[in-house]
A and B are shown apart, each in its own frame.
Chain A
């Protein structure tokens, strides 16, 4: 079983919908939690970054971390067709490999106009 699990989708929603994306993980050493967005044939770009448990909001995006349940979420409000992409959760812990990230497999999101 992988350290970070993510439903691959695809997730198809109408424009304007609220989107919920989730990851579970098994390594309790993870302290930093990130969401990356990856468009087709592009590299991942950082969307949200949170430390430990709690919520963080940035515009239409809200990231939630529940370390007790080993569960993180990304919510997208008022989704737009331009949000159509693959969303990758990523996590890191203190280790000899600096800020090495462990990724989930990604969820493909399609927002239909």
Chain B
């Protein structure tokens, strides 16, 4: 079936604008993660959902970042009042189970550039 789908692929925002990034996980996948990947770095954890419940948001850099998954499927990551340091690739990943040995499947990310 289809993999994890993210939209838009690229987003340019002026500093101070709000943005919304969408993730469509693989159908039936329980776990959903958001990661932030800065240029030349590995992905860094932002937040984790098990179905519709946000179980961990410890990686969100500030209260300008907000994520939701209201029906346990599609998820949206929202960034308010964007800053230049928010420029990065935002990756979404999903897995069939929430078990520690269940591999994550990643989307191709949304590349956010804040000017």
B-side interface residues toward A, CB under 8 Å?
4, 31, 33, 35, 40-45, 48, 50, 55-56, 58, 91, 93, 95, 97-109, 111
Interface set, chain A 13-62, CB cutoff 8 A to B: 31-32, 34, 36, 41-46, 49, 51
Residues of A within 8 A of B (CB): 4, 6, 8, 31-32, 34, 36, 41-46, 49, 51, 88, 90, 92-106
Q: Report B-chain residues with C-beta under 8 Å of the C-beta of A100.
A: 33, 45, 48, 56
- Known contacts A46-B105, A98-B55, A99-B104, A104 near B42 by CB under 8 Å: yes
CB pair B103–A46 under 8 Å, yes or no, is: yes
Give the number of residue pairs across the A-B interface with Cβ within 8 Å. 80
- Return the contact of A51 from the options B91, B101, B102, B104 (Cβ within 8 A): B101
- Decide: A44 near B100, CB < 8 A? Known: A98-B48, A103-B43: no
* 11 other A-B residue contacts (CB within 8 Å) besides A43-B109, A94-B100: A4-B42, A6-B42, A36-B106, A97-B48, A98-B31, A99-B104, A100-B48, A101-B43, A103-B43, A105-B40, A106-B41
